[in-house]
Amino acid sequence: MKFCPNCGVSPVAHEVPEGDNRLRHICRACGEIHYSNPKIVCGTLPVWQGKVLLCKRAIEPRYGKWTLPAGFMENGESVLDGALRETHEEALTRVNAPQLLTVLSVPMINQVHMMFWGEMPSHDFGVTPESLAVQLFTEDEIPWDEIAFRTVKTTLEHYFACRRAGDYTLHVSTISH
Amino acid sequence: MKFCPNCGVSPVAHEVPEGDNRLRHICRACGEIHYSNPKIVCGTLPVWQGKVLLCKRAIEPRYGKWTLPAGFMENGESVLDGALRETHEEALTRVNAPQLLTVLSVPMINQVHMMFWGEMPSHDFGVTPESLAVQLFTEDEIPWDEIAFRTVKTTLEHYFACRRAGDYTLHVSTISH
């Protein structure tokens, strides 16, 4: 942050406000404190007849790698609304009775990834400008070495573990390097 | 946003960028798009010998009303880190084996509240500058009409329902008006 979004003054200080204990962007001219907080990435793991649906990324980062349909949660929607919106935007599909499967914090990039799984109501899906390909995979067919993000790999692994156990539980963890 | 935080130009336009489908703050001078996304509020429901711990708010909004220890998740931490930090900051206490109990979207204010429950390892707790009082309550003693936020009420209700059922499940829902 180079200029104060409230009054336009530059530079914006980076210091600990009175009564706080963290560095914030604070404008010494107008006094405004500009907070920055983690963002939520939400998406789904769609399942059709035992196969899971993956999208081949058409955008950076990780162009050409496989991912689950997911993206940044937007203002004015719920986590589930966002997950279903992204599922449609990236794969033109839907899931029934979505159940939250993973909550994965990624503190290094200030993100929390929240993924739901659900059965697709039909075989309908398709590519969009965000995906080079959208495809169903059996567990054996998953391109594990070509998965775009660790949160996606963790979600897939947890899903298959739950399926083997016959019990779909929530997995909450932190991805650190 | 009145001034572009990147280049200082005013006004900042509010329009749908090319390839997007939502209104964003976008600077026509430098081209920067400034996204705004929901924030996470994280906290805990601490339990000691069957009683739950509530804090009487010493700050606005809802000054004087009762709440669970919770606050905005910060950059560089996990959801659980944030929940435990807030629990210490507001009530000087801890919980063992925290388990995620509620994920409550509040789209009207662009927030997602995530609350863990856990047993306190000891009777230790206390007031801080953020709380007028910190107190343990049996279910019958809960001041239901003096609870600060609907997400707190929903979390308490879900906790007691789980306790009666002997099964602590995750509750995911949306608070709309």
Integer CA distances (angstroms), B145 to B140, B162, B170, in order: 13, 21, 25
Write the pLDDT tens digit of every residue in B4-47. 999 999 999 999 998 888 999 999 999 999 999 999 999 999 99
Q: Give the pLDDT of residue B177.
A: 74
Q: Which of residues 130-169 of B touch A (CB under 8 A)?
A: none
Q: Is B40 on the interface with A (CB under 8 A)?
A: yes
* Structure letter (DSSP) for residue B147: B
Q: Is A5 on the interface with B (CB under 8 A)?
A: yes
Enter the pTM of the model: 0.96
Structure tokens at B79: 């959801």
Contact A3 B1 (CB under 8 A): no
Average pLDDT over residues B90-107: 98
Beta strands in B1-65 (DSSP E): 13-15, 24-26, 33-34, 39-48, 51-57
Residue of A7, A78, A130 for testing the chain B interface, max B β-carbons within 10 Å: A78
User: Which residue, chain included where needed, has tokens 């991912």?
Assistant: A67
> Rounded to an integer, what distance in angstroms lies between the CA atom of residue A54 and that of residue A43?
11
Q: Give the pLDDT of residue B131.
A: 93
- Nearest-neighbour CA in chain A from B123: distance (Å): 27
Average pLDDT over residues A51-80: 97
> Rounded to an integer, what distance in angstroms lies between the CA atom of residue A151 and that of residue B33?
26
Sheet of strand B13-15, all strands in order from the earlier edge strand to the far edge: B13-15, B24-26, B33-34
For chain B, state the CA radius of gyration.
19
Contact B12 A5 (CB under 8 A): yes
Average pLDDT over residues A136-157: 98
* Closest residue by Cα to residue B70 from B106, B121, B108: B106
Q: How does residue B121 score in pLDDT terms, banded at 50, 70 and 90?
A: very high
Q: How does residue A19 score in pLDDT terms, banded at 50, 70 and 90?
A: confident
Q: Is A10 on the interface with B (CB under 8 A)?
A: yes
Q: Give the pLDDT of residue A177.
A: 74
